[in-house]
Amino acid sequence: MNIQLFSKNALVGGATQGIGAGIALELAKCGANVTVMARNETKLKDFVSSLPVLNPEQKHGYLVADFSDFESYRKIIAGYFNDHSVDILVNNTNGPEPGLALDKTPDDYQKAFDLLFKTVCDTTLLALPHMIQQKNGRIINVSSLSVKEPIGNLALSNSIRSAVIAWAKTLSNEIAQHNITVNNVLTGYFDTERIQKLVSHESQQSGAPADEIKKARENKIPMKRFGQPEEYGHLVAFLASEYSNYLTGTSIPLDGGLNNTY
């Protein structure tokens, strides 16, 4: 299987580090023109300069946007789509703060809803007119295993990500006739800054050493290791390609087998 995405325009959120970076890198390796979004312009510039360019026509760019400030984000993303169109949209944002359901307020859930749901919905609706017109498109949502079984200490993420999955399935049924696919990746444990933050937070709460917590999480995974961002990129590249033409409305666990051990 030789995945070629030449002349395809991809927009990838949260893409200067972790899973987002792994996705953007793999799409660029497959020939796509990749635009990455994040809030730190210096990191964006450095990352874009590191992306491979396979031919003179392939061009990469960046968009400075803060997912946690929805009103500002909404203006920025609307401005982007006034001048651009995308064939591949990867919805990926930073996660909300960890914490227990008992500790979270309605305002906390509203902020998480803005971050995880409204940004995804708004961006997708802006991308769709071009996809419908050309009768082709790929929408890929980076989600979490927590939509199948809530993960402790992640009350906000557990709640809002489930809403995104239900919305994505509904949308997939409505736009399949236009040869536009909508798929979700249910993320397990990956070796990223996010997992390091969660482990550190759990360590502070429990008093257990961070190394022990990390090892315990690895031991729960049948493959006995965390995933690597480039492995995530391989799946997304497939979902973005012509080989996935008949695959839509799915939620695919990418977890080293962890989903089967709940």
Residue pLDDT, tens place only, 106-146: 999 999 999 999 999 999 999 999 999 999 999 999 999 99
CA distance 238 to 245: 10
Q: How much is the pLDDT for 262?
A: 43
How does strand 137-144 pair with strand 9-13? Answer: unpaired
| Mean pLDDT computed over 156-176 | 97
N- to C-terminal Cα distance for the chain?
Answer: 33
Q: How much is the pLDDT for 10?
A: 98
DSSP character for 190?
B
Q: What class is the 9-189+229-261 domain?
A: alpha beta
Residue identified by tokens 């017109």 is: 133
Tell me the three state secondary structure of residue 252: strand
pLDDT band (50, 70, 90) for residue 22: very high
Indicate the domain borders of the chain.
Answer: 9-189+229-261
CA distance 183 to 236: 10
Residue 10 phi/psi, 5-degree rounding, is: -120, 140
With a CB cutoff of 8 Å and minimum separation 6, the contacts of 79 are none
Longest Cα pair distance anywhere in the chain, in angstroms?
55
Which is more confidently placed, 160 or 95?
160
Q: How much is the pLDDT for 151?
A: 87
Residue 207 corresponds to which tokens in the numbers above?
A: 């008093």
Which of 258, 185, 159, 157 is closest to 217 using CA atoms? Answer: 258
Of 13-22, 95-104, 189-198, minimum mean pLDDT range: 189-198
Tens of pLDDT, residues 205-233: 888 898 998 998 899 999 999 999 999 99
